[in-house]
Structures are given as C-alpha cells and as structure tokens.
Copies of this chain bind each other. A is one copy, B any other.
C-alpha cells in the first residue's frame, strides 16, 4: 500500500536491514523526493546536539535537502569529531550513489548515545537501501526507523488536490522543545523552503512539541518536512485557500503522529490529554500543561487510576508561571475536582464523586481540563503515565 511518507506523489522510500540491530530487523532507511523537492527542519534544542543534527542543519541552511538517510542503532551523539566525520562520510557516500550533491541528503540517527556509528554496516547497506527505493516504500521506511517502538507510526491526509503523509518514531527520551523525536512529513504540493518552514513551525511543531513521555529532551530530535511539487501547479504561498487546506492537512498528520508516539511511549498505559485555558498567553498555558504532564506524582497517580487533584494543583503551582491559586479549576473527565483553587471537602468523603473521576481515568485517553483565569492563553499537552514497565524498560536495559 502506498502509505505514510510515500502517500504524496513525488517520493520514494526504502528500509532495509544493515545489521545495526542484533535482531536482524530493518535499521537503515532512505526517503528521497523528486528533483525540485524543498525541505525544512525543526531540531532539538538540547545543547548536546548529535552529529547528524548539526550536519542536517548545515545542509538546510545551504538550501539543500531532497531526502534523508536514517540509521537506527546508534545515535551518533557525544561522539565528538569522529561522529562529525562519520556523518559527513556516510552522507557523501549515499549522495554520490544517488547522484546528489551532499547538501541534498539530510541525515538522522537514533539509538544508543555515545556508541560510534558502525560505519562498515552503514556503508555496506547503502547500495541495498538505494536499490530498494520505491514509490511504495513508506511502510518499509517507517519500520526501519524504529528503535524500541512497538508499532510503526504513519499518517496521511488529503488537502484538495494535494496529499500529505508522514512517519515518526520514538518511545522514550521524549519531551520535545521546539522540535521532536524523528518525524518525517511529506507533501506533493510545491512550496518554497521559506514557506515550508512556516508550515513546519506553525502547523507541525505545536502538535509534535506537545507530547512528553518522560520530560527528557533527546539529543537527536528532528522533524523534517519535504515538498516534492509533484502535483503540477503554482508554488503555494501563504494566505491562499490552497495554503490553508494544506496547512490543515499537515496539522492533521502532525496530530496523528504525535498521538501515535505518546500512546507507544515506554510503559505508557494511559494518555492524558491536558487542556489548559485562561492563562496569560500560550507559553504560560503550555508550561502549566507540561508541568502536569511531566509530574511523576501525577503520572503514577494516573497509572494507579487515582484522580488525586492535590497532585495536579501541586504541579500547577510549581510550574514557574505566575498564577492565582484562587482561580484554578480542574476537571478529570466530567468531574470537577478543583473549584476556584479548592478541592471540595466532599471529594474526600463522598465515594460517588471519586468514583466518577476514577471511571473517567479508566481508558486509553483521559481528559484533564484546567482553567487558571480569563486570559486568552490555551494549550494542549499529551502525557503518558509512569508505570512499572517504564522502570523495567529503562532500568533493566541499556538504551
């Protein structure tokens, strides 16, 4: 099936097993747009950025980026100048095979931090992955970028004559800040690089930044948006009906990938949809929502199906955002558990009140709505719970 990143016309993709993963599963992926494809990226703000992040930023700044090479197994972060050399060598070799200038091939790596790229396997796999490129390769691409992901994440949407597609990976060390894990979104519209960046910043970032598995921003987070222009037509520009339609489709793909990522988060059994309203501005709203999503006490309470409004109030108060405690309202599902900063005493004595909140938590997604005043700032953040499995996954294995 023609899905995910190859749903839009003008893209080929592939995923093959190069031997990075001991399991023998696919671990080297390639996505390539037709000549004329434009690209833009959003990257981790972690001060310790991985070598491929540094390289991809440079290529995009030079106006390049028709495709991306992705390896899963080593993150090529904290690898020093050797890591930079390895990334440059791998990129140049792959670009040469594809007949591209090196700047036209971006690069992403994901896996263990510090371990050098296994260059023999990477270089050995290049011919295979180039040969496998196909307009139907979206599934193979999405599978080969996975690390400890349990399911491949893809999405597609239509925008009039245009198509939008995408693939993403990531289950831990996920708390993006202006960028996110690895996500690749494609469209067959024709969009100039500067306008593509607007689309990525305004319509992908809000969704892909709004998820937190464990409050840990990775060294390798990268979001790439490619436009092939395979659908004939004018270059799309802002403030046109087609632009708005395309933006909406990009939003839909971003939201879908973000939701798939958080649901597959390490050990996640329930996802909180945290909506904050009434904050002074969006940044404050986001900080408040994120403080709740990142609180280990809220996360463990969610795992234990304990509404525990005190922990939500504690997290809001410690968010570092000026708020008036007397304006805080909190709902879990349809149950209001905090009224004007006060947890109703009846909550502690009336089983029915507690039971309806518990029932609202007992599903794959839990709505937590928070009002903090009458400002215009709103934000939604998606957070996972903290389960025994998170401890097992991260305590028992080196990742």
In whole angstroms, what is the CA distance A115 to B309 when docked?
10
Please indicate the chain B residues that have their CB under 8 angstroms from the CB of A160 in the complex.
none
Instruction: Tell me, yes or no, whether A285 is within 8 Å of chain B by CB.
Output: no
Please indicate the chain B residues that have their CB under 8 angstroms from the CB of A303 in the complex.
391, 395
Instruction: Tell me, yes or no, whether A342 is within 8 Å of chain B by CB.
Output: yes
Q: Chain B: which residue is nearest A298 at the CB level?
A: B216
Interface bracket on A: 35 or more
Please indicate the chain B residues that have their CB under 8 angstroms from the CB of A297 in the complex.
172-173, 214, 216, 394
Please indicate the chain B residues that have their CB under 8 angstroms from the CB of A397 in the complex.
304, 306
Q: How many copies does the complex hold?
A: 2
Q: Chain B: which residue is nearest A75 at the CB level?
A: B310
**Docked complex: A192-228 residues within 8 A CB-CB of B:** 214-219
Looking at A29-37, A93-101, A246-254, A315-323, the stretch in contact with chain B turns out to be: A315-323
Looking at A4-12, A120-128, A343-351, the stretch in contact with chain B turns out to be: A343-351
User: Which of these, B300, B322, B325, B347, contacts A48 with CB under 8 Å?
Assistant: B325
Looking at A77-85, A136-144, A148-156, A161-169, the stretch in contact with chain B turns out to be: A77-85
Q: A78-B342, A395-B304 are in contact. Are A314 and B48 (CB under 8 A)?
A: yes
User: Which of these, B45, B79, B313, B316, contacts A342 with CB under 8 Å?
Assistant: B79
Is the CB–CB distance between B348 and A318 below 8 Å? no
Please indicate the chain B residues that have their CB under 8 angstroms from the CB of A388 in the complex.
388, 391-392
In whole angstroms, what is the CA distance A45 to B308 when docked?
21
Is the CB–CB distance between A340 and B80 below 8 Å? yes
Please indicate the chain B residues that have their CB under 8 angstroms from the CB of A113 in the complex.
309-311, 313-314, 343
In whole angstroms, what is the CA distance A236 to B342 when docked?
44
User: Which of these, B296, B340, B392, contacts A214 with CB under 8 Å?
Assistant: B296
Is the CB–CB distance between B317 and A219 below 8 Å? yes
Instruction: Tell me, yes or no, whether A374 is within 8 Å of chain B by CB.
Output: no
Is the CB–CB distance between A318 and B116 below 8 Å? no
Is the CB–CB distance between A78 and B301 below 8 Å? no
**Docked complex: A322-338 residues within 8 A CB-CB of B:** 322-323, 325-326, 328, 338
Instruction: Tell me, yes or no, whether A237 is within 8 Å of chain B by CB.
Output: no
Instruction: Tell me, yes or no, whether A363 is within 8 Å of chain B by CB.
Output: no
Instruction: Tell me, yes or no, whether A22 is within 8 Å of chain B by CB.
Output: no
Instruction: Tell me, yes or no, whether A134 is within 8 Å of chain B by CB.
Output: no
Is the CB–CB distance between B394 and A296 below 8 Å? yes
**Docked complex: A30-52 residues within 8 A CB-CB of B:** 45-49
Instruction: Tell me, yes or no, whether A387 is within 8 Å of chain B by CB.
Output: yes
Please indicate the chain B residues that have their CB under 8 angstroms from the CB of A216 in the complex.
295-297, 311, 314-315, 318
A–B Cβ pairs within 8 angstroms, 17 of them: A46-B317, A47-B323, A48-B314, A77-B310, A79-B342, A114-B309, A215-B294, A215-B295, A216-B315, A216-B318, A217-B318, A301-B394, A303-B391, A386-B391, A386-B395, A388-B388, A388-B391
